[in-house]
A and B are shown apart, each in its own frame.
Chain A
């Protein structure tokens, strides 16, 4: 049932709105609303029960293993939520003077310092509201850098063919054309193809390392040299930073600008699809172009850095400074982990992924890059299963839901056929991984003996497979009360 179907005209919650109804006579009639919006008219208990029940129709980290590759679905510590929601922090207006926000600004300044340290970069701006906005900031900075030098011939951004779809979409938003670079058989960027592709038209290369193929890009230093020799810049997509946190710094790899996804690496909640936070960090060359506001410090006082102190900035990306509450959660997480906790994230996410890959390979599954180490994630290809049984990766994904596991990422990256991208994260125990392995074995057996069972999965969810074609063709995006 929808909330609207619980609604009755005239029902309302008397405690939740002002007791007096004040008049609005001075607002001209022509500017006033004539018909009330169709918001639900339900009791508080009806609303609470309805949304509590809806929540129970979700898989989440708090309830299920969620090995969604490239998304880093690790445990979101409750302390991060509780401490970011202290009343003074929640009540602070974004335009309250900085003298009334020294505690908040201290947290943000220290978070900048922590992120500088783990990325090996010169300077950090916390302002981008999500990973994709961090990407936008990074590429806009590359453009601003070339523009500032009067170099307007650079019109092209290079992107590996395995890259996340946001990379090419971002490059276009920044006014660039996109050229794709192929991947070699071992999952590394095809260096020869890269050398042939760079030139005076190259603005930069966007790279994820470890790559979206679940392997570390071994030739990163040569790649950086090729790019820099051609006058281009190197952009680091921080989607997979969890794999190297505290162990390898993107700055040391030769990257000029990077964005991080704090909702992945720093364990802020994914919230059913947001809010995220996508801070961007830069080396000395690109630092002047970072988006504002940033937080500065002068003689124990924290202050906003704005266009005034950073005249070459690419500007502002939101009305305020980013998703402050998300940044506070990341700050609390970083303080709980501390210096010695950072590299353990990389250690144990890598251990878990390599263990899963080893055990699943022993169980008969095929790794896409069997000769390579897994990073914090790895790819299985189910091409063999499809040929033998007709069961495809999507079927296995859906059947995993029946077994109580969220599905891995499916059909990404696009260049591996029938792929599952599996990222267990460091917060899962060995027992949970073993249960997942057992479920995968069961599904492989089912695919061989009763493929129709797998192809029709899921069987135990609130709904069965949905008609996506109907959803797109007969658009139903808002509820309308059926005619009586």
Chain B
């Protein structure tokens, strides 16, 4: 029996102790009619060897591609030591540190994580993580509404990740919170501060400020933050953690700094893995700490005065406050935060800065190379971090299919969410892309674009 250690002798002795004749008898309080259901669709059990063969075949089927997609999830080098340590059983198979004395490893690590994230974002405090960046933004919105007390409307620029905007809507809509979208400047690809004038006096609780924004473009964060504050709303910075090694952290935006910083933690040591598990980070200024959702770790002393770590501010949480909790969240993404903490320790400030700068340089090199192709042009004229929007003179979907047949994932097709941009493509080149990779991409894109109106290579036609 997989993972069940009982021998026949064990079963017999245990039933005798209970005073039952069979294991089935232990279910005799359950109405007979409910015990009739048989499993029909669960397949027969396999040995580990057979499952390994199956999984390897599935993995091989998916293969490996030269990736130029970013759009919220980024391919970075992850030092070998990170997941070697993360998958140690003592981290991997422990639970939420309710028994602090038997969980000092996890608790101290989370305290170190909070320290690193607060410093990276320029904030006073950080929680111990949320599920992911998108749901983290929803929690930041709820937090701003709680703290603001009066207003229940939120300004979200269209330069925020389109899926994030949908997620926020799905999570907050039943609490009578209204999301108002702000259009972007079609020349710069940013949220023009002067365009916000239309919303002044509109009774908003917060302005969301993405940096870099979904297009990779750098927003004028100082002006946006100051505008939010001078109009009586909180400023929520939605940031990429890698970029913070070289970009001004939200805590220093404008005259007073943003109030909340939130974002997707995946770039800090989590593999792409089809979208998860990742983690969301959330940091804020001191006065908002009691409005934060999720687990928070504090440093304290034990009864001998020795330093120790414990879950704190639990009076905000569902298991104490029930219907009055700040959120229904119980878990953080502990294991992925373990990866992030080790990742940041191994890279250090200099390492993370080099990674960020290399991503930036590779993206600029990719843009320069690709826009050298006839029929490919840049869409926006403002500086970017590690992504950029390109326009093609053929349908983006066709181009991506053709590139896929050459083993290249050419980027994220923007035509569904931003039809006004025409045939637009979001490309990203992190530090993992080499000059040869970029060369290869440009070589194939040139062929694809120049063959416009002809059929794409036949290998892609099946699924087209």
* Size bin of chain A's contact surface: 35 or more
Chain A residues with CB under 8 Å of B97's CB are: 272-273
B200 sits at the interface (CB 8 A): no
**Complex contact A104–B58 (CB within 8 A):** yes
- Taken residue by residue from 454 to 484, chain A's Cβ proximity to chain B (1 for < 8 Å, 0 otherwise) reads as 0000100111111110111011111100000
Which of chain B's residues has its CB closest to A68's CB? B95
What is the distance, in angstroms, from A470's C-beta to the closest C-beta of chain B? Answer: 5
A358 sits at the interface (CB 8 A): yes
Known: A17-B350, A120-B37. Contact between A464 and B42, CB under 8 A?
no
A93–B379 CA distance with the chains assembled, in angstroms? 24
A341–B92 CA distance with the chains assembled, in angstroms? 24
What is the distance, in angstroms, from B285's C-beta to the closest C-beta of chain A? Answer: 12
Chain B residues with CB under 8 Å of A397's CB are: 99
What is the distance, in angstroms, from B37's C-beta to the closest C-beta of chain A? Answer: 4
Which of chain B's residues has its CB closest to A405's CB? B102
A444–B68 CA distance with the chains assembled, in angstroms? 63
Known: A40-B348, A48-B85, A271-B91. Contact between A86 and B56, CB under 8 A?
yes
- Among B90, B91, B124, the one with the most A-chain Cβ atoms within 10 Å of its Cβ is B90
A316 sits at the interface (CB 8 A): yes
Which residues of chain A from 134 to 166 have a CB within 8 Å of any chain B CB? 135-136, 140, 143, 164-166
Chain B residues with CB under 8 Å of A374's CB are: 26
What is the distance, in angstroms, from A94's C-beta to the closest C-beta of chain B? Answer: 3
B328 sits at the interface (CB 8 A): yes
- Taken residue by residue from 158 to 197, chain A's Cβ proximity to chain B (1 for < 8 Å, 0 otherwise) reads as 0000001110111111110010000000000000000000
A439–B289 CA distance with the chains assembled, in angstroms? 41
**Which of B149-157, B241-249, B436-444, B448-456 interfaces with chain A?**
B241-249
**Which of A111-119, A227-235, A279-287, A379-387 interfaces with chain B?**
A111-119
- Taken residue by residue from 349 to 367, chain A's Cβ proximity to chain B (1 for < 8 Å, 0 otherwise) reads as 0111011001100100000
A236–B371 CA distance with the chains assembled, in angstroms? 55
**Complex contact A90–B272 (CB within 8 A):** yes
Chain A residues with CB under 8 Å of B309's CB are: 466
Chain B residues with CB under 8 Å of A317's CB are: 135, 167, 170-171
Chain B residues with CB under 8 Å of A257's CB are: none
Known: A4-B115, A114-B42, A351-B15. Contact between A56 and B105, CB under 8 A?
yes
A372–B60 CA distance with the chains assembled, in angstroms? 51
A463–B385 CA distance with the chains assembled, in angstroms? 45
**Complex contact A37–B331 (CB within 8 A):** no
Which of chain A's residues has its CB closest to B273's CB? A325
**Complex contact B41–A99 (CB within 8 A):** no
Which residues of chain B from 217 to 239 have a CB within 8 Å of any chain A CB? 218, 221-222
A338–B126 CA distance with the chains assembled, in angstroms? 42
**Complex contact B89–A86 (CB within 8 A):** no
B57 sits at the interface (CB 8 A): yes
Which residues of chain A from 23 to 72 have a CB within 8 Å of any chain B CB? 23-24, 26-28, 30-34, 36-42, 44, 47-48, 50-52, 54-64, 66, 68, 71
What is the distance, in angstroms, from A74's C-beta to the closest C-beta of chain B? Answer: 7
Q: Interface size of B by Cβ–Cβ distance < 8 Å?
A: 203
What is the distance, in angstroms, from A269's C-beta to the closest C-beta of chain B? Answer: 5
A354–B81 CA distance with the chains assembled, in angstroms? 43
**Complex contact B112–A319 (CB within 8 A):** no
Chain A residues with CB under 8 Å of B349's CB are: 36-39, 41
A430 sits at the interface (CB 8 A): yes
B125 sits at the interface (CB 8 A): yes
Which of chain B's residues has its CB closest to A113's CB? B41
**Complex contact A41–B348 (CB within 8 A):** yes
B372 sits at the interface (CB 8 A): no
**A-B pairs under 8 A by CB, number:** 682
Chain A residues with CB under 8 Å of B133's CB are: 319
- Among A54, A136, A170, A172, the one with the most B-chain Cβ atoms within 10 Å of its Cβ is A54
- Among A63, A276, A342, A362, the one with the most B-chain Cβ atoms within 10 Å of its Cβ is A276
B255 sits at the interface (CB 8 A): no
A130 sits at the interface (CB 8 A): yes
Which of chain A's residues has its CB closest to B432's CB? A18
- Among A95, A107, A338, A346, the one with the most B-chain Cβ atoms within 10 Å of its Cβ is A95
Chain B residues with CB under 8 Å of A165's CB are: 317-322, 325
Q: Which one, B108, B164, B244, B272, contacts A91 given CB within 8 A?
A: B272
Q: Which one, A38, A103, A164, A464, contacts B59 given CB within 8 A?
A: A103
**Complex contact B62–A102 (CB within 8 A):** yes
Chain A residues with CB under 8 Å of B210's CB are: none
A44–B360 CA distance with the chains assembled, in angstroms? 26
Chain B residues with CB under 8 Å of A343's CB are: 39
Chain B residues with CB under 8 Å of A63's CB are: 89-90
A225 sits at the interface (CB 8 A): no
**Complex contact A88–B63 (CB within 8 A):** yes
Which residues of chain B from 266 to 313 have a CB within 8 Å of any chain A CB? 271-279, 289, 295-304, 306-310, 312-313
Which of chain B's residues has its CB closest to A135's CB? B328
- Taken residue by residue from 351 to 376, chain B's Cβ proximity to chain A (1 for < 8 Å, 0 otherwise) reads as 11111011011001000000000000
A447 sits at the interface (CB 8 A): no
B425 sits at the interface (CB 8 A): no
**Complex contact B244–A336 (CB within 8 A):** no
**Complex contact A39–B60 (CB within 8 A):** no
**Which of B1-9, B178-186, B388-396 interfaces with chain A?**
B1-9
**Complex contact A247–B35 (CB within 8 A):** yes
What is the distance, in angstroms, from A132's C-beta to the closest C-beta of chain B? Answer: 5
B159 sits at the interface (CB 8 A): no
What is the distance, in angstroms, from B89's C-beta to the closest C-beta of chain A? Answer: 3
A133 sits at the interface (CB 8 A): yes
Chain B residues with CB under 8 Å of A427's CB are: 3-5
A248–B276 CA distance with the chains assembled, in angstroms? 31
**Complex contact B354–A55 (CB within 8 A):** no
**Complex contact B59–A275 (CB within 8 A):** no
Known: A58-B102, A114-B41. Contact between A88 and B174, CB under 8 A?
no
**Complex contact A18–B354 (CB within 8 A):** yes
Chain B residues with CB under 8 Å of A16's CB are: 77, 79, 346-347, 351
**Complex contact B322–A169 (CB within 8 A):** yes
**Complex contact A273–B96 (CB within 8 A):** yes
**Complex contact B59–A88 (CB within 8 A):** yes
A343–B30 CA distance with the chains assembled, in angstroms? 15
B67 sits at the interface (CB 8 A): yes
Q: List 9 A-B contacts (CB under 8 A).
A: A37-B245, A55-B91, A79-B52, A103-B62, A169-B325, A272-B95, A321-B275, A406-B102, A475-B312
9 A-B pairs with the lowest CB-CB distances in the bound complex, closest first: A338-B45, A320-B275, A62-B89, A271-B335, A94-B275, A315-B170, A103-B58, A272-B334, A17-B351
- 11 extra A-B contacts, CB within 8 A, seeds A58-B90, A169-B328, A246-B39: A58-B106, A129-B135, A133-B135, A272-B338, A319-B167, A348-B23, A406-B102, A426-B4, A465-B101, A474-B300, A478-B114
